[in-house]
Amino acid sequence: MTLDDLIAQFRVDSDDSIAPYLASDVAVTAWLNEAEHEAAIRARLLSDVSTPAVCQVAVTAPTTVYQLHPAILDITYAQFTPTGSTTEYDVSIVDRVDQDRNRPGWRTTTDIPQQAIQTDTQIQLGCIPSSSGVLSLEVNRLPLVNMEDSVTESPEIGSIHHRHLVQWALHKHFARPDADVHDTGRSDKALAEFTRVFGIRPDADYRRSTQANRQAHNKAYW
């Protein structure tokens, strides 16, 4: 579905199909973009292994901390390739407590990175890198652009999920403190349906626990 299709569906479902509308196209567009982000967070719908700006971090020795692309939710796999080398080193995503326990002195140790700590906005290598190189990531992420700015003007998530994004827009619409539209029952019903499809939103503690202590696994090549 395109953005226009989704707005049209919203107007049917919300009984707001006659101009002047109770909800502007601008407002509905914002809710639908928010819905796609929310769906991606809840259901981890967008995996990425190939977008350079998202999945490649240029490591410059001896710097240990690097900004992550703001669309990244969590890192599912990481690998470090030193400059001038074809050897690829798996990098485990760990938490600071386990890194302190298992690698005492890691903050001042110079070596090939084989552990890293992810925060909301950064990644910290588990040692001082002995070589510059590239940290390659496989990630779950948010959409990179809003629907109105995309080439297709459609959600980036799979088409099977598009129709359900309208539920979030309905939830936001009927939750407004406006006497002409406010309807707690319809708002709650739409949110419940959105949650049924995409799941409960993970809190910050859950995200931290899923980000940490991911073991790297060697990939098989045939």
Residue 39: which of 188, 205, 159 has the closest Cα? Answer: 159
CB 96 within 8 A of CB 75: no
**Domain map (residue ranges) of the chain:** 3-45+147-201, 47-141
CB 216 within 8 A of CB 92: yes
Question: Which token pair is 40?
Answer: 């991606």
For 106-125, what is each residue's pLDDT tens digit? 999 999 999 999 999 999 99
Question: Which token pair is 130?
Answer: 């002995």
For 20-48, what is each residue's pLDDT tens digit? 999 999 999 999 999 999 999 999 999 99
Q: d(Cα 108, Cα 155) in Å, to the nearest integer? A: 45
Predicted confidence (pLDDT) at residue 177 exceeds the cutoff of 90: yes
Q: d(Cα 201, Cα 195) in Å, to the nearest integer? A: 8
Q: What is the pTM of this model?
A: 0.89
Q: d(Cα 82, Cα 137) in Å, to the nearest integer? A: 15
Name the DSSP class of 214.
Answer: B
